[in-house]
Structure 1
Amino acid sequence: MIDVNDFKQSINDARLPAGLPLHVMALWYDASGDWKTAHDLIDQLTDQRSAHIHAYLHRKEGDNWNADYWYKRAGKTRPKVSLAEEWDMLVQEYSR
């Protein structure tokens, strides 16, 4: 499991940790200001985890229709929390 505080510090340090799961790596790039790389990492994947990250990224982009499509593919609904709170929840969920 990744320590969320260490993970956030790696973003501040612009130092991608080695061995990150792909889904968490996408979240790292997103938080580092590189939405495109984050999206490119998961765009062609069809598993539910990828769909969940994909949904978050489109929600962040402001494309709620597309986000809702991906939340449905992930078996989720769009959360009623801030983007920052959702990002934290995703890191915790997919870093296990």
Structure 2
Amino acid sequence: MTSRDQFHASLQTQAPPPTLSLSQAALWWIGKKNWAEAHRLVQSAEGARECDRIHALLHRQEGDLANARYWYARADARMPDQTIIQEWEELVRQAFPQTGTQPS
């Protein structure tokens, strides 16, 4: 499994790590600002809640708020009142939960 730190470091490469799930890869493409590739991926998995949630973010980023609301509803989520970057960071945290405890 890829850690959150590994995910962020991989954004310096040309392609996503092959171990990422489809939704994680979509988040990776968003991190690379390749909105079209992220959109293509989540559209291919319509009905998967985590992909529908990312799909909502993509439409919000485009400024298509009516379509974004539709996808948030499909993902059983509400449109957040945070920035696109903050929402992406939250989705990354959810997609790559930290395991274990941090040293004190």
Q: The TM-score by the shorter chain falls in which range?
A: 0.7 to 0.9
Q: Quick one: percent identity of the two aligned structures?
A: 35
Within 5 A, what are the aligned runs for 1:2-81? 2-44=2-44, 45-81=46-82
How many positions carry a matched residue from both structures?
A: 96
Structure with bigger RCO (C-alpha 8 Å, 6+ apart): 1
The Cα of 1:29 is off from its aligned counterpart by 0.9
Identify which range, 86-95 or 63-72, moves more after superposition. 86-95
Structure with greater helix percent: 1
User: C-alpha distance in 2, partners of 1:43/1:15?
Assistant: 19
Native 8 Å contact 2:55 2:71 kept in 1: yes
Native 8 Å contact 1:55 1:70 kept in 2: yes
CA RMSD across the alignment: 1.6
Q: Taking structure 1 as the reference length, what is the TM-score of the superposition? A: 0.88
Structure index of larger Rg? 2
The Cα of 1:5 is off from its aligned counterpart by 2.9
Native 8 Å contact 1:21 1:95 kept in 2: no
What stretches of structure 1 of length at least 5 have no aligned partner? none
Runs of 4+ in 1 over 6 A off after TM superposition: none
